[in-house]
Structure 1
Amino acid sequence: MNKSFVAAAASAALTLGMGIAPAQAHDRHESSVPTVEETRVIAEGLVSPLRLAVGDGRSIDVAQSFAGTVSRIARDGNIETLDAMEGYFAGSVSRSGRTTYYTMTKGAGAGIPAENESLLKSRDRHGNIRTIANIAAYEQEANPDQETRYGFRDLDQACLALQTNLGPRASYTGQQDSNPIATVPFRDHVLVADAGANAIFRVDRWGNVSTVAVLPAIPVTVTEEIAAAAGMDNCAVGATYYLEPVPTDLELGHRKMLHVSSLPGGPEDPSLGALGSVFTVNPWSGETRQTVTGLVSPTGLAIDQRGNLYVAELFANRISVVPRGASGASVLYEANQPAEVELKDGSTLYATTDVLGPENLPPAGKIIKIEIHKRGH
């Protein structure tokens, strides 16, 4: 039930390929599904490249997350370190002009708020680094999902008392935890998806943090199989368990609406089914709608001018596409452990792959470039 989409990487990797349903798009949208024309590797040997941002001049900024490093890959392949913080997790990276925005986090998910620090930082074209805000400080003060109940909500007390294997996760409210995992510069502020807070935040140029939206909990009906896998007492079969929504990426789309991918904070492999989804969030009102369902571990998101969504499904080993107006996905490209996708010039998709390489082996993370053909063009 951890809140970080990378926290269960080791255990989830053991179950790759088990119970993964094929992605499906609605038939009426099949004719508009893009296809892949060409792919090539443009960088490799990276450490957990969970996030990337494509800038002007075709340079690419990448968060080598577990190394606590944000790097820039030039057109000639040279790699420059933009910032490195030992003991921190480089959770996000984004670009606005020649300024890079990124986050550095420590203590996420540890259950000790005082030791949780999540810094939104920027680096300008002259190399000047600025810490804009400590988002964890805001989360500790506001904790916007503190009134949301996760776990069981309506289970009778006798049955709830039998769920000893779940411990405090049997029924609980949102805890203080910050793990910013995606950023998008928007006008005079930066929008942040926080996987620990289950919320979208806004940070202005002065470092003031406010809440845009709290994502709704994800309801799951407990089956006999789920009860056995989670160690639940059988009295819970048929009841509803509410998972944390865990935002993993966000993109601005048509009319500046936010599209947010969500990986429920339960088992992050597909053992409970394809529970990942995409929400649409109004950045002004905070109104939130679930618009895409049936995804497996969606960790990266991109959107083109026609409204097609591209999704990296990490533990399904695929990049999928959701045609505009559809609520389900089709497979665009099969890849090993893709974590991030970013679109450039409407038809070039950049993605990170092999992001959770085997232990005790050299880093194997890659950035690939995918040329897309859009039907009807």
Structure 2
Amino acid sequence: MRSRIAATAAACVFAMIMTAGPALAHNRTQPGGGNSYNPAPSPVNEITSGLITPLKVAFGPHGSYLVAESFAGKLTSISSTGQKSVVVNAPGQEIAGVSYRDGVIYYFDNDQGAGPEPGAALLPARLKSIDAAGRTRTVADLSVYEGAHNPDGKTVYGVRTASDSCLAEAPYLRSMGELFSHPYSSAPARGGVYVGDAGANAIMFVSDSGKVKLIRQLPAEPITIDSSVVQIAASMGMVVPDCMLGLTYYAQAVPTDVEVSGSWIYYTVLPGVPGEMLGVGKVYRTNLNNGQTELIARDLKAPTGVAVSGEGVVYVAQLMGDGVSIIKRGTTTNVIPAAMASDVELNGNTLAALTNALTDSGGSLVTKRLR
């Protein structure tokens, strides 16, 4: 049972049926939380609506916002008053992972296959930049690195401890990491860009010259096979044999967003099916100097966006949860109630979020001022 970001759209309806009323996430203690931050926000301000699959947002130049309308193949600039202008128009492509730093826009231009699952071909997945003069260049093609290294190629996903006879009843419940690159989120920093690759299940750093370096290969996420997992599998036309009940299923750890704050990189993980439907998403942070990794929050409902304040306060958007929440001093509190919140960004004391991202009527860009 594999999963990628595009598959979340199809899974979302089923997940909402499975979760009768979204709940706040349980979490671990947030390290480094400041005491001077009041999470109480002002009312929501809708900047614009009618966005087509808006999955990533960034604060852009001159008070604007940059939104990746991913499945529409568009990168859109939105003024503070809601006026839209198209920056990139690439029908048939997936535009993802928009970010902005020092006058430069970064985004991914990903070739799409026939469906949400990896196909036989390793498709191009380009990190591009647009400078202040409007010049576009391809910084790197992440699929080239994936083809040469395949970071999770030796990872066993699925059920690892089933007997041979048990596995023979459902061989589709074990697989190896495949060749697949799907860069989905980015965080510019000095000298380059940190990338969350939702196909490679890894975090990389791409230098300004285009050199790709592996920062962290994300370990598989363990999920106990119980009646809920069996029900999810059945909805997908797969049978989980009784001999696998109680065993651990190792789901792909799909990174959905990355954010750099000081010497730490924060990232959301949406465990692959069945994890995305069970509300077992997580937020981690890894120290860029020594590799130390800490769990920030768990039991999140498809976390797809993360933002961090200068004081180390963490915000998370949950696509299948109750909107955008703040994680502070061991407590998770909702600050933007919304359906299908696909991303959140923070600039000063302004939160920007994308909501209703997968609705037929289109998603919205909203903001809140933090007091």
TM-score, normalised by the number of residues in structure 1: 0.89
AA aligned opposite 1:199: A
Q: Corresponding residue for 2:254?
A: 246
Instruction: Tell me if the contact between 1:55 and 1:61 (Cα under 8 Å) persists in the aligned partners.
Output: yes
| Cα distance in structure 1, aligned partners of 2:227 and 2:334 | 30
Residue by residue over 1:98-132, the C-alpha shift from the partner in whole angstroms, topping out at 9 and shown as x without a partner, is: 11000011236543353511110000111111111
Q: Corresponding residue for 1:136?
A: 143
Change (3 A) 1:21 1:40: closer
| Cα distance in structure 1, aligned partners of 2:290 and 2:28 | 30
Residue by residue over 1:170-212, the C-alpha shift from the partner in whole angstroms, topping out at 9 and shown as x without a partner, is: 1122111111111111111111000011000111111111211
- Equivalent positions of 1:37-76 (< 5 A) are 37-76=42-81
Q: Which runs of 5+ in 1 are unaligned?
A: none
- Equivalent positions of 1:1-377 (< 5 A) are 1-16=1-16, 18-19=18-19, 20-24=22-26, 34-107=39-112, 109-112=116-119, 114-164=121-171, 167=172, 170-230=173-233, 231-253=239-261, 255-267=262-274, 269-270=276-277, 272=278, 274-324=279-329, 326=330, 329-345=332-348, 347-358=349-360, 363-373=361-371
| Cα distance in structure 2, aligned partners of 1:283 and 1:187 | 13
| Cα distance in structure 2, aligned partners of 1:286 and 1:76 | 42
| Cα distance in structure 1, aligned partners of 2:290 and 2:27 | 30
Instruction: Tell me if the contact between 2:251 and 2:275 (Cα under 8 Å) persists in the aligned partners.
Output: no
Where 1:8 maps in the other structure, the secondary structure is helix
| Cα distance in structure 1, aligned partners of 2:66 and 2:328 | 28
Residue 33 (structure 1) shift? 6.6
Identity %: 32
| Cα distance in structure 2, aligned partners of 1:242 and 1:50 | 26
RMSD over equivalenced CA pairs, Å? 2.3
Q: Which runs of 5+ in 2 are unaligned?
A: 234-238
Change (3 A) 1:24 1:277: closer
Residue by residue over 1:7-45, the C-alpha shift from the partner in whole angstroms, topping out at 9 and shown as x without a partner, is: 13123224316334433467999x977122221101111
| Cα distance in structure 2, aligned partners of 1:276 and 1:83 | 31
| Cα distance in structure 2, aligned partners of 1:142 and 1:23 | 35
Bigger Cα displacement from structure 2, 48-57 vs 191-200: 48-57
Residue 291 (structure 1) shift? 2.8
Instruction: Tell me if the contact between 2:122 and 2:179 (Cα under 8 Å) persists in the aligned partners.
Output: no
AA aligned opposite 1:322: I
Change (3 A) 1:159 1:310: same
Instruction: Tell me if the contact between 1:152 and 1:241 (Cα under 8 Å) persists in the aligned partners.
Output: yes
Instruction: Tell me if the contact between 1:42 and 1:368 (Cα under 8 Å) persists in the aligned partners.
Output: yes
AA aligned opposite 2:48: A
Instruction: Tell me if the contact between 1:252 and 1:258 (Cα under 8 Å) persists in the aligned partners.
Output: yes
Instruction: Tell me if the contact between 2:4 and 2:117 (Cα under 8 Å) persists in the aligned partners.
Output: no
Instruction: Tell me if the contact between 1:227 and 1:236 (Cα under 8 Å) persists in the aligned partners.
Output: no
AA aligned opposite 1:241: Y
